[in-house]
Amino acid sequence: MRVLGIETSCDETAASVVALDGASAPEILSNIVLSQIEEHAAFGGVVPEIAARAHVEALDGIVEAALADSAVSLDEVDAVAATAGPGLVGGLIVGLMTAKAIAAAANKPLIAINHLEGHALTARLTDGLDFPYLLLLVSGGHTQIVAVRGVGDYQRWATTIDDALGEAFDKTAKMLGLPYPGGPNVEKAAASGDAGRFAFPRPMKGSAQPDFSFSGLKTAVRQAATAIAPLSDQDVADICASFQAAVADALGDRVGRALARFRKEFPDKASPALVVAGGVAANRTIKGTLEALCSEAGFAFVAPPQKLCTDNAAMIAWAGIERLRAGMAGENAAGFVPRSRWPLDSVSAPLVGSGR
Ligand code: ATP
Ligand code: MG
Ligand code: FE
């Protein structure tokens, strides 16, 4: 089975071909990702209009490159899978319409994929995980804990009540005058900082409510920075280190709660696992905290390669394969309408063409 995947929901234009043959491990035959970071850097964040335009300009070439790289012709693919939401609607339209045109021209079925389902199933592509497992998705737009119980069977256990974690990193960086994207730059500055200098709040820590919150932490960072301005490089480093420590601590508390819940809900699961996905999962302090937490709780800690943790089309092609082989691809999704909002726990039914 070969599926061509297309991803355009945010600021990456991506295409990929993934293959699954019989009982052997799946294979990523090509995985092309064009990041628009430079186009958006001057604005300190993703500008939807610029993103949509950049997808239009790049997508055809990216799809061609993905097919060429895979040495698979369009004739040989079994289906075209494209992200249909959630995300920036301009980009979604570009990707889904392109996929519809390709599928129609090549007479192949089209599968509409939920972007979050792509993230949720990646660990089965990279590590062959069995259901159920726990997923922590921490990116620029999402902060969620999801129980992944099967294809199309997802239960969201926690989400953020305000900012996404990546967004909190990006806003903190901006306040401190660090360049976009903020996450990697905050981590770099934190390396030479004193994490004990500022006692930032650990939002939600100890709360029985499962969700995340990061806007209060952001405010605390702003107040600390304003109080000691102008900031020296050391001040910036100390704030970054203290911020990162607070985030890791708060995250650890939330995830620890979810691990305990997983044990309770799936007592028969012999080797439970926590999977991390999203750009923030690259952060070594956060990774270290989660790794320690998992080893203490007897969970395997699964972190797929960074290239497959951030937005990419291999995860979309793979989700297409998972749906095809589960008989959940739906009828041809040619009539599917892009959805800017599309919660993961609402994708259980086969996705049919009507859109809404
Ligand atoms: P979506 O949320 O729609 O999946 P996105 O493009 O916002 O997409 P990703 O590309 O997965 O998300 O991740 C980008 C985010 O990850 C940014 O907010 C960035 O600052 C953050 N990030 C990247 N590297 C690090 C790091 N080392 N530490 C902390 N945050 C990081
Ligand atoms: Mg991105
Ligand atoms: Fe994503």
Q: What is the ipTM of this complex?
A: 0.98
Give residue 42's pLDDT.
86
Q: Is 295 annotated as a binding residue?
A: no
Do residues 140 and 167 lie in contact, with contact meaning Cβ atoms separated by under 8 Å? yes
Give residue 59's pLDDT.
98
Q: Which of 106, 10, 41 is nearest to 313 (CA)?
A: 10
DSSP 225: H
**Binding site membership of 283 for ligand 1 (Cβ less than 6 Å):** yes
Residue-wise pLDDT tens digits, 219-248: 999 999 999 999 999 999 999 999 999 999
**Binding site membership of 185 for ligand 1 (Cβ less than 6 Å):** no
Q: Whose CA is nearest to atom 20 of ligand 1?
A: 183
Q: What is the mean pLDDT of the chain?
A: 94
The torsion defined by the Cα of 79, 98, 344 and 23, in degrees rounded to 10, comes to: 20
**Three-class SS of residue 273?**
strand
CA of 327 to the centre of ligand 1 (A): 32
Give residue 349's pLDDT.
54
Residue-wise pLDDT tens digits, 188-202: 999 999 999 999 999
- Let me know if 136 is exposed, middle or buried by CB neighbors in 10 A (0-12, 13-18, 19+): buried
Q: Whose CA is nearest to atom 1 of ligand 1?
A: 141
**Binding site membership of 142 for ligand 1 (Cβ less than 6 Å):** yes
Ligand nearest to the CA of 166: 1
Give residue 43's pLDDT.
86
Ligand nearest to the CA of 279: 1
Q: Is 115 annotated as a binding residue?
A: yes
Do residues 91 and 98 lie in contact, with contact meaning Cβ atoms separated by under 8 Å? no
**Binding site membership of 44 for ligand 1 (Cβ less than 6 Å):** no
Residue 355 has pLDDT above 70, yes or no: no
Ligand nearest to the CA of 13: 2
What six digits make up the tokens of 261?
A: 């819940």
d(CA 37, CA 40): 5
306 Cβ partners below 8 Å, 6+ apart?
Answer: 281, 282
Residue 353 has pLDDT above 60, yes or no: no
Do residues 87 and 139 lie in contact, with contact meaning Cβ atoms separated by under 8 Å? no
H-helix segments, 30-145: 37-41, 48-70, 89-106, 115-127
pTM of the complete model beyond 0.90: yes
